[in-house]
Structure 1
Amino acid sequence: MNTPPDRPEPAPGLAEIADVVTPFAVRAAATLRLADHIAAGHTRLPDLAEAAGAEPRALCRLLRFLTCRNVFAEPEPGSYALTDLAEELRSDHPANLRQWLDADEVAGRLDATFPHLVAAVRSGTSVYAEVHGAPFWEDVGASAARTASFDRLMAQVAQSTRGIGTAYDWSDVRHVVDVGGGTGALLREVVEAHPHLRGTVADQAGSVAEARRYLAAHGLDDRADAATCDMFTALPPGGDAYLLSRVLADWDDEQAVRILRTCVAALPDHGRVLVAERVLPDPPAPDAPDGEDLSEIRRLTSHDLRMLVLLGGRKRTAADYAHLAARTGLRLRTSHRLPGGATVMEFRRAPLNQRADAATPEPPRHTPSAQ
């Protein structure tokens, strides 16, 4: 029987960046919890294989691959130790990277869509349903385990809006409606920081039940509640601020405009719509230093491709959000960077003579973030 020849060893550079084996080997180590088991004292191969539920010879091959890439160390034959990189794969590491790499969790379902990136780029739409048989939100909601896994992942992502309760000026807001507010953690931060405020989480039924429990457990049920709604059709009335935190990036432009129009329909004349997202930078100035904010741009462009593949959504610049909002009669008033990395954009109703699709949004006033 003919067998395929070994692939020639590529020279460092683009071929190394494009290597498909390394990311899946690291995910295998994360899924098998090898760092946790080694930290617990299972350093010899037979013991480690038993703890991980792996076949010893196959595990040896995986570890051999990873040790020569400095993910793990082999201080003596058949005995393994953690490197600084492997420490990041421990379940108790503050970066919480292991669960993002666990193939058995919902993160594995997210990663499984990326072999279809070409199809997403050709079509400009999500390929999630083609891979998993249902659109993203439907697929996640169909399983309690997937929902719980997804909520754990999102607890980490929520750090981008850290500081919204104090860094943004809530002094003249009386009632904030957190659209798509999930379990209520973000609303809690805002309401606890401002005793004059009332708040409402507006979300689907499952999230609303959890939000009510969460808010009550933190003693806020007298000032904060949750209401079931469809953010594409109608939102709870009574708010003078409607907050969209990490919502609009999940959707394409037309769907994002629909959500903004629903907010506008509920908004009083004096009210505001707040959009909290990590925003792409505008094209840098010609004299911008090389490499300025490069690591942040890399993260955002990675997230942007995830939005495309998973949801058909996209990351946007502040100007992009201003143009979307202008289609609903809103004008960007202020843009404020939060300590966690997200930006809060405040939108108000534009004067009647400026409410047109082609209206040019007012340039935002940038304010320094609180430290």
Structure 2
Amino acid sequence: MSEHDDAVQSLWPLMDLVTPMALRVAATTNVADLLADGPLDAAALAERSGTDSDALARVLSHLAGQGVFVESTPGVFALNATAEQLRSDSPTGMRLWLDLEGFGGRMDLAFTELLHTVRTGEPSWQRVFGQPFWEYLADHASVGAAFDETMASGREFVLDAARGYAWPSTAHVVDVGGGTGALLASVLEENPDVRASLVDLPETVERGRKYLAERGVDERCTFDGQTFFDPLPARGDHYVLSSIVHDWPDAEAVEILRRCAEAAGSTGRVIVIESHTPEAGSFTEMNLRMLVLLGGRERTVDEYTELARRAGLRVAGVHTTPVDQLVLDCVPEKW
């Protein structure tokens, strides 16, 4: 093989868009669920999934060649361990992340206009979907609900965040932008004397009320349907921002931190939890995702410290969790 061929081979795994899109199509059409009881041919799969049998067969044959699904007989497909992860009941939650009709798939489709972002510095989400990110979720209820579900998935990370701070037994924890309450549920379950408040947009909070009731902890939680750019309820003493600050450019991030600082008063704390430390292998990918979707960014500890300072806070402690999430314990600057 020539030096030229070696160079091409080194690029090839990085340039393929066929396999990633085929995988997302398989997830979106629920093929793995249809194969849960055993092999089926393409005609049967197409009839049950509402797809074209020839096109579906080509997609699945390609994926089988990549180690996803098995095609032991031409045109007949079965699950393997990799394809099992595409089932709706898989604990990995991968189908949720790959579904092109849900939030996860749309998030990836935003990258089709990455060139626009690079040329302008603007998020490409609006160029692809016609509205800024948060407005789109508000106007498309099913995608907004899928976003909430996606943010609540990943039990390991939610538990890690809940255990990533030593909550005092008397704490009243206010989860600001807390989605449907996955983090709060874990905090309340792990700390039976802690009380809590869930703050998010009204529709999300209503889903959170039901979710926390299902977890049996709603009686220790109050619910506030509002934006976090408005004054926050002042009943708490620990205000949590979990995977929130990275969604926003600096000016908005400072404003959110300032609202938390105002509500926390002279004795409260603001706990910032972010899922990606600068040392994490996924830091650069998520940094790019935040830009493309929202105009936000991942940050270093020094950068978070500066945002906190601008919001009237001081970072009193920093540590990482067992799965490398970053936790910053912020107190009023004058402490």
Instruction: Return the TM-score normalized by structure 2.
Output: 0.89
The equivalent of 1:317 in structure 2 is 300
Q: CA deviation at 1:117?
A: 0.9
Q: Which has the higher helix share?
A: 2
The equivalent of 2:286 in structure 1 is 303
For structure 1, the residue ranges without an aligned partner over 5 or more in a row are 1-7, 283-296, 353-371
In the alignment, the residues of structure 1 paired with residue 271 and residue 238 of structure 2 have an alpha-carbon distance, to the nearest angstrom, of 7
Q: CA deviation at 1:275?
A: 0.3
In structure 2, the CA distance between the partners of 1:325 and 1:157, relative to structure 1 (3 Å rule), is farther
Aligned partner of 1:233 among 230, 241, 248? 230
Contact 1:201–1:227 (8 Å) recurs in 2: yes
**Segment drifting more, 239-248 vs 173-182:** 173-182
Aligned partner of 1:345 among 308, 319, 328? 328
Count of equivalent residues: 330
SS in 1 for 2:119: helix
In the alignment, the residues of structure 2 paired with residue 190 and residue 67 of structure 1 have an alpha-carbon distance, to the nearest angstrom, of 42
The equivalent of 1:95 in structure 2 is 92
Instruction: Return the TM-score normalized by structure 1.
Output: 0.81
Contact 1:162–1:338 (8 Å) recurs in 2: no
Q: CA deviation at 1:335?
A: 1.8
Contact 2:158–2:182 (8 Å) recurs in 1: no
The equivalent of 1:58 in structure 2 is 55
Contact 2:276–2:282 (8 Å) recurs in 1: no
In the alignment, the residues of structure 2 paired with residue 327 and residue 341 of structure 1 have an alpha-carbon distance, to the nearest angstrom, of 26
Contact 1:162–1:340 (8 Å) recurs in 2: no
In structure 2, the CA distance between the partners of 1:81 and 1:22, relative to structure 1 (3 Å rule), is same
SS in 2 for 1:279: coil
Alignment of 1:58-97 (within 5 A): 58-97=55-94
Letter of the 2:69 counterpart: F
Alignment root-mean-square deviation, CA: 2.4
In the alignment, the residues of structure 1 paired with residue 287 and residue 180 of structure 2 have an alpha-carbon distance, to the nearest angstrom, of 25
In structure 2, the CA distance between the partners of 1:227 and 1:85, relative to structure 1 (3 Å rule), is same
Alignment of 1:103-252 (within 5 A): 103-157=100-154, 159-171=156-168, 174-252=171-249
In structure 2, the CA distance between the partners of 1:60 and 1:230, relative to structure 1 (3 Å rule), is closer
SS in 2 for 1:39: coil
Identity, in percent, stands at 41
Which of these two proteins has the greater Rg computed from alpha carbons? 1
In the alignment, the residues of structure 2 paired with residue 43 and residue 222 of structure 1 have an alpha-carbon distance, to the nearest angstrom, of 48
Superimposed CA distance per residue, residues 205-247 of structure 1 (whole angstroms, 9 cap, x where no aligned partner)? 2223333344445444443101233311311012211111111
